[in-house]
Amino acid sequence: MGTQPGRSVTSKVLALLDAFSPASPTLTLSELARRAELPLPTAHRRVAELVAWGALERGDDGRYRIGLRLWEVGSLAPRGLGLRELALPIMEDLYEVTHENVQLAVRQNFELVFIERIAGRRAVPVLTRVGGRFALHATGVGLVLLAYAPTEVQEQVLAAPLERYTALTITDPVRLRRRLAEVRRAGYAISDRQVTMDALSIAAPIRDPDGVVAAISLVVAHDRADPVALAPLVQAAGRVLSRALGAYRQPSGRVPLRSRHERQ
Sequence-distant (6+) residues with CB within 8 A of 141 are: 103, 104, 105, 112, 114, 189, 201, 203, 215, 216, 217
Say if residues 189 and 143 touch (Cβ distance below 8 Å). yes
Same fold across 9-73 and 78-263: no
Residues 6 or more apart whose Cβ sits within 8 Å of residue 119: 101, 126
pTM (2 d.p.): 0.68
| CA–CA separation, 240 and 214 (whole Å) | 13
Structural domain 78-263, CATH architecture: 2-Layer Sandwich (3.30)
Block means of pLDDT (10 residues each) for the chain, length 264 residues?
A: 64 89 86 92 93 90 87 62 81 90 91 86 68 89 96 95 94 96 96 91 93 93 86 94 80 41 38
Query: Which residues on adjacent β-strands are paired with residue 112?
Result: 107, 134
**Domain residues of the chain, as ranges?**
9-73, 78-263
How many CB atoms lie under 10 A from the CB of residue 188? 24
User: What phi and psi values does residue 26 have, to the nearest 5 degrees?
Assistant: -130, 140
What pLDDT sits at residue 125?
63
Cα 14 to Cα 46, 165, 221: the distances in Å are 10, 30, 39
What is the structure's pLDDT at 119?
83
SS3 call for 174: helix
Count of CB atoms situated within 10 Å of the CB of 254: 8
User: Could you tell me the CA-to-CA distances from 89 to 96, 103, 136, 162 in Å, in that order?
Assistant: 11, 13, 26, 35
Which is it for strands 133-135 and 189-192: parallel, antiparallel or unpaired?
unpaired
Domain 9-73 indexed as CATH 1.20.1530.20:
no
**What is the predicted pLDDT for the residue at 226?**
86
Spatial contact of 233 and 98, defined as CB atoms under 8 Å apart = yes
Q: What is the pLDDT of residue 131?
A: 75
